[in-house]
Amino acid sequence: MFIKRDFIAKATEMGCFGCFGFSFAKEPKKGVRCGRGFGNKELLLDEEPKEGDDEFYNGDVTDTGNGDDVEFQSPVRRSEEILKYRIQNALICREVPVKETHRLVRSEDENGNKMINEYVREYKIGSGSYGKVVLYRSSIDQKHYAIKAFHKSHLSKLRVAPSETAMTDVLREVLIMKILNHPNIVNLVEVIDDPTTDHFYMVLEYVEGKWVFEGAGPPGGLGEHTTRKYLRDIVSGLMYLHAHNVVHGDIKPDNLLVTASGSVKIGDFSVSQVFEDDNDELRRSPGTPVFTAPECCLGLTYHGKAADTWAVGVTLYCMILGKYPFLGDTLQDTNDKIVNNPLYLPDGINPLLKDLIEGLLCKDPEQRMILEAVSEHEWVIGEEGPIPQYPCWCKRNRSKEDFSNGSRTDLLT
């Protein structure tokens, strides 16, 4: 592996995580060429639970707001209102709604394994921003599920913005996942929230695939064939989200899971936002530092969809070259490089791929390539053809209703 120790140390210090199995220890609009020139955010760092705390994460969370108390179009309240409206009016993409369970029974099976209702604990498989993720097996259907576990009281005390707590983020994540249904998005199966306990669980489909990259192309990279396959799935899922006015806010390899069959699913909607229309203006800087768009580093308002697209570009760069395009010794140094440094691409790179990366990593969001253009890019199409359009359930239903009742205006654009 060509990645040097000091590089890994920098990524680890900043809270940057491994890309698609890379050995990073925890460590334009179409046809427009972008020029060279052109909010600061602390990453929410994980820490291991205290000894004896087998189920819950108790790490500290850094304030991710901008430090003032002035509300700016309060996207959290807007998101909650829009999501509740959509759910109440069946403007969702799910034929089968998320199961809601309000009774929690904690027990053990005959082998002494801990249980949550029907689910038998196997082992911890990861940590999210606010809680750890544990593999469970259902004693009913024998399938495996990834369960995110939280303490409600703990999250309610963690301030992540002037008017938001970590619990606000978790509840919004649940509401967002309740409306989504797409083959390239992780599915939420059940929410367990017993009002008499402090426990809160999200039961998610378990994505068991691992990413293998050694020998698959340039040192540290996945190679063009695998990268193209993964990128097509990422773009398909993100185009679906943006079509439903959902901004993910933290696109990065850690949140892109690969199934055993090799398809990619987008997960972790803990910093996502929903908008009523195409006005996706945000102030709270989301995401992970090395995947943050230049306009987010300036501490000003920015457009969430364009920031998501930049993060796709950083992810593509990681998949091809096995390293980050902009990485400094400190958070501020990284931000400075994201905003000011030119993009470096090695000699000999596929010209079509070079064109795509440059379009995605255009520092000017107005000139940055949009996802529709990415989906039609010659390198992305390859021998596979255009990315298939997913038949959206909620829009099919809406079209039927509009046809029956005449046109109507609602919050789903």
Q: Which residues are catalytic?
A: 250
Residue in the block written with tokens 């210090």: 13
Helix axes 351-360, 304-321, angle to 10 degrees: 150
**Up-side HSE of residue 277: CA atoms within 13 Å toward CB?**
3
Query: What dihedral do alpha carbons 80, 82, 88, 91 form, nearest 10°?
Result: -130
The token duo for 378 is: 């010659």
**Is residue 185 classed as helix, strand or coil in its secondary structure?**
strand
The token duo for 302 is: 């920015």
Residue in the block written with tokens 């990422």: 234
The token duo for 320 is: 């091809």
Sign of CA dihedral 55, 58, 63, 64: negative
178 is in an annotated binding site: no
Alpha helical stretches, state H, 341-392 = 351-360, 371-375, 378-381
d(CA 410, CA 413): 7
Sign of CA dihedral 164, 75, 252, 190: positive
> Is 289:314 a contact under the CB 8 Å cutoff?
no
Q: In what order do the strands lie in the sheet with 199-205?
A: 99-101, 188-193, 199-205, 144-151, 132-138, 119-127, 114-116, 106-108
**Is residue 198 classed as helix, strand or coil in its secondary structure?**
coil
| CA distances for 90 relative to 107, 183, 405, angstroms | 36, 20, 16
d(CA 151, CA 21): 30
Residue 240: name the closest of 266, 263, 220, 215 by CA. 266
Helix axes 166-179, 75-88, angle to 10 degrees: 30
d(CA 336, CA 323): 18
Burial class (CB within 10 angstroms; exposed 0-12, middle 13-18, buried 19+) of 111: exposed
Please give the annotated binding residues for ATP, written as ranges: 148
